[in-house]
Amino acid sequence: MPNIPIEQIVAIVGPENISCAIEERYCYSYDASKLQAVPDCVVFPANTAEVSELMKLANREAFAVFPRGAGSGMVGASVPWAGGLVMAMNRFNRILRIDPDNMIAIVEPAVVTATLQEEVARLGLFYPPDPASLRFSTLGGNVAMSSGGPRAVKYGVTRDYVMGLEVVLPQGAVIHTGGNTLKGVVGYDLTRLMVGSEGTLGIFTQIIVRLLPQPEEIRTLSVVFPLLEKAAQTVAEIIRNRILPCTLELMDQATIQAVESYLHCGLPVQADAMLLIELDGPPSTLDRELLQVRDICQRQGAATIEIATTELERERLWQARRAISPALGRIRPGKINEDIVVPRMKIPDLLRTIRGLADKYHLYIVNFGHAGDGNIHMNILLDPTDKDECKRAEQAAEELFREVIALGGTLSGEHGVGIAKSPFFHREVGREGWEAMWRIKKALDPLNILNPGKMFVGNRAFFQAR
């Protein structure tokens, strides 16, 4: 393999923990973005020392290293575009400690998010970040992308729960950032720098997260609207009334129709929009907020309001939201999935813009997502073999990005930049911001060894040419 010193890698991890077989390499060549590039080999380190030695070797021999968790990312952040070595963190899969008194957990990066949530729940504790992929995505990947999820409207995203990290830097040095304490202002906040860095600044080998007490009770509502505009205004009105649901999810008509075709569960396909609203907290507070939310929905012209009274009913209401992704896959074979965010009060403006783009470019666009924090998942459903349709979709996405920035929003609330959004990165952060980040990258990784080609590549053609 070019530039890959197999014998030296074997000396570090053992012969059973490296694979150059094409079948294995292919399995680690793509993520959920459907971007793909086959690495030269895959290695499975078992501890921090091995990761450190591998990074030192990569610098000496000048080969690229691509860290990888579960491969559930949506922007190609773990795709090994330059060949090189995929460092699969599968063996770092232990929950090292749960401390219920201090409400923290120390985990390795390959722990599945839902596994940690279930373990801490047994102790009456709560780890709030809940990406849609929580049943298979890993905490290391969540930290690398600062994943969010439906509960972000009330509880924030992954970065808000990471207290400390053990990190192997690109040249092999091992550092510890943050710690076990809720406060700490000594030096630069390297923990925050690393969270969301998409595997370009370091490889996480331990993660310290803070936990919360479990909410006492939950109330769940499903609300149907004859007009999408009214559903969007309802979101704004709930927040304006100082009510902060733990989830506030939106589905437009195209989404409702897709899910009903998939589940056949009796969804109102003529409705223009649905909201799934969930409140949590003490029962006395919840009862009051539930009445307030119901009244707001009625004033905004809700057609129907359904309130779950049992856990079974709650799960039924959530069933439609969880079925969106597989349902969309049945409509068209491909999609462009953008996770733009605007200030909450701008959601009506954003949805009007998206509907205008669908008409202008003759595209099938589906909208759903975390309306409570302004994060809408705009999905352009398309046929990847139709070059004209793909071109129109790219044009629509680029125009959408300009409009989102003009509304004071951001190009990504959860998925990150990776390869897919790299061409548009500088439009949001500005040339000076882009260059400042690049200088940080080069200071820690002068040879651009660790996850090269992510965030800082100026156009998709560069990747496709590889």
What CATH number did the domain enclosing 385 receive?
3.30.70.2740
**C-alpha to C-alpha distance for 9 and 27, rounded to whole angstroms:** 20
b/e code 165-175 from CB counts within 10 Å (16+ = b): bbbbbbbbebe
Residue 465 has pLDDT above 60, yes or no: no
Strands, DSSP E only, in 47-151?
65-68, 85-88, 95-99, 104-107, 125-126
Name the helix (H) or strand (E) containing 18: strand 18-19
* 59 inside domain: no
* 146 inside domain: yes
For residue 227, what is the domain's CATH number? 3.30.70.3450
Q: Per the structure block, which two tokens stand in for 300?
A: 């905004």
Residue 11 has pLDDT above 60, yes or no: yes
Per-residue pLDDT band for 3 (boundaries 50, 70, 90) equals confident
Mean pLDDT on 86-110: 98
pLDDT of residue 82: 83
* 466 inside domain: no
More confident residue, 33 or 169: 169
What is the span of the domain harbouring residue 265?
Answer: 217-326
pLDDT of residue 462: 39
Chosen domain end from 167, 192, 213: 213
Residues 393 and 290 in one domain: no
Residues 339 and 314 in one domain: no
For residue 189, what is the domain's CATH number? 3.30.465.10
Q: Which residues, at least 6 apart from 6, have a Cβ–Cβ distance to it below 8 Å?
A: 18, 20, 41
Chosen domain end from 326, 353, 379: 326
pLDDT tens-place string over residues 344-363: 889 989 999 999 999 999 99
Per-residue pLDDT band for 281 (boundaries 50, 70, 90) equals very high
Per-residue pLDDT band for 457 (boundaries 50, 70, 90) equals confident
What is the count of structural domains for the chain? 3
Residues 130 and 206 in one domain: yes
Residues 115 and 207 in one domain: yes
* 299 inside domain: yes
pLDDT tens-place string over residues 377-417: 999 999 999 999 999 999 999 999 999 999 999 999 999 99
Where does residue 460 rank: exposed (0-12), middle (13-18), buried (19+ CB within 10 A)? middle
- Residue 46 has phi, psi (to 5 degrees) of -110, -15
Residues 229 and 317 in one domain: yes
CB–CB of 247/150 below 8 Å? yes
- For residue 143, give the amino acid letter: V
* 455 inside domain: no
Per-residue pLDDT band for 460 (boundaries 50, 70, 90) equals very low
Residues 200 and 221 in one domain: no
Residue 464 has pLDDT above 60, yes or no: no
Residues 228 and 207 in one domain: no
* 359 inside domain: yes
Q: How many residues does the chain have?
A: 466
pLDDT of residue 329: 87
Per-residue pLDDT band for 458 (boundaries 50, 70, 90) equals low
pLDDT of residue 100: 97
pLDDT of residue 2: 57
Residues 206 and 229 in one domain: no
* Mean pLDDT over the full length of the chain: 94
pTM of this prediction?
0.94
Residues 209 and 223 in one domain: no
Residues 113 and 160 in one domain: yes
Beta strand 85-88 with 41-43: parallel, antiparallel or unpaired? parallel
Residue 212 has pLDDT above 90, yes or no: yes
Residues 131 and 204 in one domain: yes
* 449 inside domain: no
Residues 247 and 322 in one domain: yes
CB–CB of 56/396 below 8 Å? no
Distance between the two ends of the chain, CA-based, in angstroms?
17
Chosen domain end from 276, 301, 326: 326
Question: What is residue 384's DSSP assignment?
Answer: T
* 1 inside domain: no
In the numeric block, the tokens 């030296």 are attached to 8
Distances (CA, A) of 156 to 119, 209, 345: 21, 13, 18
